[in-house]
Structure 1
Amino acid sequence: MSNREMDRQFSLDDVENLDALFARRSAAAEAALSAFDAEKGIPYEDAPGRKLNIFPHAGKGHPAPVQIFIHGGFWRSLDADLFSFLVPGFVPFGAMLVVVDYPLMPACRMADVVDACRMAVGWTYRNCAQFGGDPDRIFISGNSAGGHLVAELADRTWLDGYGLPRNVIKGTTAISGIFDLDPVLRSFQNDALLLTDEEIRAFSPLYRKLDIAGPLIVTVGGEETVEFLKQSAAFAQHATSCGATVSHMPVPQTNHITIVLDALAEPGHQLNRAVRTQMGL
């Protein structure tokens, strides 16, 4: 594709009623923050941008499985608070939800973003029990840039270096992810990201052998651009070829925003049910 066409692939220009969707997303996040208990802005490391929000399960009894969510924004925008709208899809069903903030590019590099997410997993494993979570049942999901970061975390090659057990992540869900960074380099997004050739080689999970143990859901909105559809299909096939147990689940009638807002966050939707089933809920 030409650079101009790649610009279109990584923009939201073709999403109808985008401003209304953004407003609905913000309102849903604010409503969830008002309706559910939250522990906000907890630092998982003493460095800028490395905080998380915890939404504990309100019930008593056995520790709750934990869903860690990593937001999108092309590694350079958005924050954890905005994705609080996910809470009604998980907490009432017996889960703890953890929404992660990470340092944003270009103030940092991709290695820092990936490291931050790894540190967030480690912090959650070591500390979630004090909030009612079960460190032996940690699951991870994320959208767009967060889908890419989920793929990086699902690849177990990093765990030993962070002092974590090989089975710390029990299952993953990559939503509308970017698994080959080279096309991003050829789009307007790189005007801000300033990705290097070295970063593209190091952080494109589509082009290296992966060690994924738990079940993996790869999903994408049926109304997303060709590049997102193509990359999700390619990543699902690649992960399968590496020995992972993969469910490839394109979601019809959803776009880059609504696949999270109206599918993952909606208890009655097949995507939400699939993620909760992965968690045993």
Structure 2
Amino acid sequence: MGRAIITGLLALGLAACTSSTLINGLTPDAGYGGPTRLAYGSGSRHWLDLYQPDGTRQPAPVLIFFYGGSWRYGERADYRFAAAALAARGFVVVVPDYRLYPEVRYPDFLRDCAAAVGWTLRQASRYGGDPRRVYLIGHSAGAYNAAMLAYDARWLAAEGLSPRAIAGFIGLAGPYNFLPIQVPDVMPVFDWPATAMDTQPISHVTAAAPPTLLIVADPDELVDPNRNSAALADALHRVGVSVVVKRYGALNHYTTIGALAWPLRWLAPVLDDITEFVTTHRTP
């Protein structure tokens, strides 16, 4: 009964975007160092937090985590629970902020995310990371950002890079195929109804796409898992890209990322799924 109450409160807090103090307060401090606050650009939102695993004796895989919030909300500090969980598994973790609506619209936040990836690839070795094993991971709108950088070469090209520099993409409850836009908060972000199909990650799937892990909640009422993750997986399969889909009935849109927090890990093995994917899928 106690566990159910805690779970309910945390899930409610995650849904209301008010849980960061509670859930981060319950996050263990062991197994990682950080966050280290670093600038990747000149703007007030061009900062990132970097977490390093304890006791790493060789260059570690690097995970760049983009948070969600309908491209309107979010702060990197809110996701210490997720970064700490991943860093304690032996990964260098980078959590960038990026500009949000109404300061910017599509595609400016993608340019910010690409700049954060460029910074990470250039600086990873200074912080114990392996620049040959950089993975993009995101939740909800952050999964969209990560997918666009992983599949659409335009954004990393501005940093003198290509998606081939990315070892893998991990999407949690992401929108990859969401036209027509039906969420009022998202409409002005993408200038709906004048939204081109090339805004959609599914439109950029080619055989050059990196290995992909998609984690979804079957009962997700905000981002339809069939229209988005299942459709993206089908597109990747058709061009021969390695893709793993994990679907969980015990999760919802918010606990898909919340399951990284230690009080909620019993809901689904999301942390194990990510760890297995990163340790299994590596560049030659």
Fold shared per TM-score above 0.5: yes
Q: TM-score, normalised by structure 2?
A: 0.82
> Which residue among 128, 133, 136 is the counterpart of 1:137?
133
Gaps of 5+ in 2: 1-7
Q: Does 1:210 align with 2:206?
A: yes
Q: Which residue of 2 aligns with 1:49?
A: 45
Distance 1:171 1:134 in 2: 13
Letter in 2 for 1:29: N
Distance 2:69 2:224 in 1: 14
Shift of 1:250: 1.2
Q: Which residue of 1 aligns with 2:230?
A: 233
Shift of 1:164: 2.1
Which segment is superposed worse, 125-134 or 189-198? 189-198
Gaps of 5+ in 1: 1-15
Q: Which residue of 2 aligns with 1:115?
A: 111
How many positions carry a matched residue from both structures?
265
Q: TM-score, normalised by structure 1?
A: 0.83
Q: Percent identity?
A: 24
Instruction: Summarize the Cα distance change of 1:165–1:207 in structure 2 as closer, same or farther, 3 Å threshold.
Output: closer
Q: Does 1:277 align with 2:246?
A: no
Q: Which residue of 2 aligns with 1:176?
A: 173
Deviation by residue 1:146-199 (Cα, 9 ceiling, x = unmatched): 111121011152344421255321111111111134233x33214653624454
Q: How does 1:52-131 map to 2 (within 5 A)?
A: 52-131=48-127
Query: Are the aligned partners of 1:75 and 1:145 in contact in 2 as well (CA < 8 Å)?
Result: yes
Query: Are the aligned partners of 2:81 and 2:261 in contact in 1 as well (CA < 8 Å)?
Result: no
Distance 1:163 1:270 in 2: 36
SS in 1 for 2:259: helix
Distance 2:45 2:157 in 1: 24
Which segment is superposed worse, 255-264 or 76-85? 255-264
Instruction: Summarize the Cα distance change of 1:237–1:119 in structure 2 as closer, same or farther, 3 Å threshold.
Output: same
SS in 2 for 1:76: coil
Deviation by residue 1:127-156 (Cα, 9 ceiling, x = unmatched): 122111111111111011011112101115
Q: Does 1:29 align with 2:24?
A: yes
Shift of 1:46: 1.2
SS in 2 for 1:73: coil
Deviation by residue 1:194-216 (Cα, 9 ceiling, x = unmatched): 62445443311223443544310
